[in-house]
């Protein structure tokens, strides 16, 4: 039971089935977006069904337990969305994937390689195949938008300045920003939505195989939320990347997810497709989806 | 043993224990040489934890200092950042250093003139001012000023980067935050704080000159001669370096390292949002000021005993 609901009126339910109007709404939401399968512009060399990202029985505790026996997998081109109450450790999962944290128990596998036993430099190499979009975009305050997006290119590639500029323009256009307008601006001069978009541009600058998003739509107005969600799905299609998204926003979850993982009480209590989630009879899940 | 991610972890209360220490403690526990931690009464456990966390902080501080110094010689060199920091630390602090030095020198001369008059020895004002400024007041006061201005600035900057996840972003994008953020600041401080101290000393002696000329009526020529006599009388190392300069330059070198490492340490370990940034800033200024004064004593003691016998 959600903590705040102890004394509330029990939610009216008819034998666990969603009201018809809600089911229709979910179906139409899923139908409005371009179906997956359109040709990606960046072909991947692998075509296997081996999971690219896997957490196996991961446990982590600081002063108090954060994650207990958490496992899930993501295959190539999957979009796994992790949902759960605030502060349950969703962002921690992303940090584990990036090896910014090391689990107390269990393994974190990127492309079947256990990253928990890597040294700092070896982990750097693995990170180059991942792009991360932080919750507040985490743009570097002291650099312009251009320098922010160019940062991963300057660090990890030996592209010359012209190539870098071309790539930065390409990525800024991808996220629907006018390069000439924003390139020389500082992050502090941008709105929240624009900063998020620059963050996405920076995350994808190196065309990574795995994209991680930490609450990409939190704190944004509904229109911008819509835009960002569409952007993530567009990125998913054209980069053909595996995406792991941590999100609160149930509506965008159902639009972009191929798999949903529900984090409840430090554990994954549900891992499956969005359809399976709506059809689930579990009380907690029904309450969670009650926000839809 | 898996190496912990490098760089201080924000909000993480993990004991960074090395493999050998773990093995040793396991051995000790198995041999029942020390009771299991959970059987300690609550108050001892709290003291135990508090003591361990203090030692852990100290350990992380020294690890940060060692890494930042080691990375001076490691690629990639962020030369542009070093130059930028030299501007922030050195050039931007010039104003307060000039003011501090001038008024300190003037007050020294003023106070000492009163005392020296009773002995009829006002001609020695130059000796007194230059000795005090070069050996002690120049380095320490410039250090304290820079600790306040630069230390708080660095701590606030790195602290805000930490709470807005920019440090994590740097890690994610493959940059070691210590190489990019800490080492340039340490190098810049090591270069700039001695320079600022020299300027501080010089302005202080000029301030003394002003007071000596206008209040005591001492001719400037005499004043400066006594200044030079003072420096010469304390002996020379390697034939050309006055011992006063040794004291006066080693100290700011050490203070520069202290200030920058302390500021970076508190900045990178900030937790708790904007309030945490404020706390880190305060702690930086307080800690580096105290460290400057304490280390000053020990350096003085060390150098005096070394130079007196040499």
- ipTM of this predicted complex? 0.75
Q: Show the tokens assigned to A8.
A: 């509330």
Residue A201's pLDDT band (cuts 50, 70, 90): very high
Residue A25's pLDDT band (cuts 50, 70, 90): low
- Residue A249, pLDDT above cutoff 50: yes
Distance CA B294, CA B183 (A): 24
Asked, for residue A45, whether it belongs to a domain, the answer is: no
Asked, for residue A171, whether it belongs to a domain, the answer is: yes
Looking at residue B24, its pLDDT comes to 66
Q: How far is A242 from chain B, CA to nearest CA, in Å?
A: 17
Asked, for residue A244, whether it belongs to a domain, the answer is: no
Contact A34, A237 (CB under 8 A): yes
Contact B168 A100 (CB under 8 A): yes
Asked, for residue A192, whether it belongs to a domain, the answer is: yes
Q: Provide, as residue numbers in chain B, all residues whose Cβ is less than 8 Å from the Cβ of A127.
A: 171-174
Mean pLDDT of A121-140: 86
Instruction: Convert the pLDDT of each residue in B82-118 to its tens digit.
Output: 999 999 999 999 999 999 999 999 999 999 999 888 9
pTM above 0.95, yes or no: no
Lowest average pLDDT, out of A9-18, A200-209, A211-220, goes to A9-18
Q: Provide, as residue numbers in chain A, all residues whose Cβ is less than 8 Å from the Cβ of B273.
A: none
- Residue A30, pLDDT above cutoff 60: no
**Count of structural domains within chain A:** 1
Q: Residue A203 belongs to what domain range?
A: 130-207
- Residue A27, pLDDT above cutoff 80: no
DSSP chain A: --GGGTTSPPPP-BTTBPPHHHHHHHHHHHHHSPPTTSPPSS--S----SEEEEEEEEEEESSSEEEEEEEEEEETT-EEEEEESTTSSHHHHHHHHTTSS--SEEEEEETTEEGGG--HHHHHHHHTTEEEE-TT----TTS-HHHHHHHHHHHH----HHHHHHHHHHHHHHTT--HHHHTTS-GGGS-HHHHHHHHHHHHTTT--SEEEEESTTTT--HHHHHHHHHHHHHHHHHH--EEEEE-S-HHHHHHH-SEEEEEETTEEEEEE-HHHHHH---HHHHHHHTT-
Looking at residue A119, its pLDDT comes to 78
Interface-testing mutation among B173, B175, B273, B277, with chain A (most A C-beta atoms within 10 A): B173
Instruction: Convert the pLDDT of each residue in B164-207 to its tens digit.
Output: 989 989 988 888 899 999 999 999 999 999 999 999 999 999 99
Asked, for residue A279, whether it belongs to a domain, the answer is: no
Contact B6 A139 (CB under 8 A): no
Residue B36's pLDDT band (cuts 50, 70, 90): low
Nearest to A145 by CA among A95, A97, A180, A94: A180
Looking at residue A37, its pLDDT comes to 43
Mean pLDDT of A230-253: 85
- At B257 the three-state DSSP class reads helix
- Residue B256, pLDDT above cutoff 60: yes
Closest residue on chain A to B6 (Cα): A120
Contact A248, A218 (CB under 8 A): yes
- Residue B121, pLDDT above cutoff 90: no
Q: Provide, as residue numbers in chain B, all residues whose Cβ is less than 8 Å from the Cβ of A119.
A: 3
Asked, for residue A58, whether it belongs to a domain, the answer is: no
Closest residue on chain A to B165 (Cα): A138
Mean pLDDT of A87-100: 83
Residue % of chain A over a pLDDT of 70: 82
Closest residue on chain A to B160 (Cα): A141
Looking at residue A240, its pLDDT comes to 83
């Amino acid at each position: 039971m959600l903590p705040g609901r102890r004394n509330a009126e029990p939610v009216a339910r008819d034998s666990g089935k969603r009201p018809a109007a809600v089911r229709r709404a979910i179906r139409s939401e899923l139908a409005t977006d371009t179906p997956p399968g359109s040709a990606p512009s960046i072909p991947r060399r692998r075509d296997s069904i081996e999971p690219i990202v896997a957490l196996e029985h991961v446990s982590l505790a600081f002063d108090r337990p954060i994650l207990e026996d958490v496992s899930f997998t993501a295959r190539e081109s999957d979009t796994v969305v992790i949902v759960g109450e605030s502060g349950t450790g969703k962002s921690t999962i992303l940090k584990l994937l990036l090896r910014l944290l090391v689990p107390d128990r269990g393994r974190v596998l990127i492309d079947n390689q256990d990253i928990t036993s890597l040294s700092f430099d070896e982990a750097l190499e693995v990170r180059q195949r991942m792009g991360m979009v932080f919750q507040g975009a985490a743009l570097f305050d002291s650099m312009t938008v251009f320098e922010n997006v160019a940062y991963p290119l300057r660090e990890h590639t030996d592209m010359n300045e012209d190539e870098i500029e071309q790539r930065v323009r390409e990525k800024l256009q991808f996220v629907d920003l006018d390069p000439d307008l924003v390139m020389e601006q500082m992050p502090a001069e941008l709105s929240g939505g624009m900063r998020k978009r620059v963050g996405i541009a920076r995350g994808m600058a190196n065309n990574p195989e795995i994209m991680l998003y930490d609450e990409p739509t939190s704190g944004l107005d509904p229109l911008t939320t819509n835009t960002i969600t569409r952007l993530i799905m567009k990125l998913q299609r054209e980069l053909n990347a595996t995406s792991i998204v941590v999100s609160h926003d149930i509506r965008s979850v159902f639009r972009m997810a191929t798999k949903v993982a529900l984090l409840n009480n430090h554990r994954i209590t549900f891992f499956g497709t969005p359809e399976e989630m709506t059809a689930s009879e579990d009380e907690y899940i029904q309450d969670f989806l009650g926000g839809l | 043993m898996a190496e912990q991610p490098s760089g201080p972890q924000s909000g993480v209360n993990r004991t960074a224990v090395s493999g050998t220490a773990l093995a040793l403690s396991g051995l000790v526990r198995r041999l029942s040489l020390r009771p299991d931690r959970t059987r300690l009464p609550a108050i001892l456990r709290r003291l135990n934890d508090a003591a361990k966390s203090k030692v852990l902080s100290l350990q992380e501080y020294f690890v940060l200092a060692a890494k930042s110094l080691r990375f001076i010689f490691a690629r990639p060199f962020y030369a542009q950042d070093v130059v930028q920091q030299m501007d922030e630390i050195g050039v931007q602090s010039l104003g307060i250093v000039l003011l501090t030095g001038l008024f300190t020198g003037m007050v020294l001369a003023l106070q000492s003139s009163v005392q020296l008059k009773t002995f009829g020895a006002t001609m020695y004002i130059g000796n007194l001012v230059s000795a005090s400024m070069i050996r002690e007041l120049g380095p320490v006061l410039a250090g304290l000023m820079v600790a306040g201005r630069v230390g708080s600035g660095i701590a606030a900057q790195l602290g805000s980067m930490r709470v807005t996840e920019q440090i994590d972003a740097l890690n994610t994008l493959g940059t070691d935050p210590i190489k990019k953020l800490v080492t340039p600041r340490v190098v810049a401080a090591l270069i700039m704080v001695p320079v600022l101290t020299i300027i501080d000393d010089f302005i202080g002696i000029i301030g003394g000159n002003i007071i000596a000329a206008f209040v005591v009526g001492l001719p400037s020529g005499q004043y400066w001669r006594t200044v030079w006599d003072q420096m010469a009388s304390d002996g020379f190392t390697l034939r050309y370096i006055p011992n006063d300069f040794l004291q006066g330059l080693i100290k700011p070198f050490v203070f520069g390292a202290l200030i920058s490492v302390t500021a970076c340490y508190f900045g990178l370990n900030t937790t708790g949002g904007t309030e945490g940034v404020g706390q880190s800033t305060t702690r930086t200024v307080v800690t580096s000021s105290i460290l400057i004064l304490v280390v000053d004593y020990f350096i003085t003691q060390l150098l005096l005993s070394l130079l007196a016998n040499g």
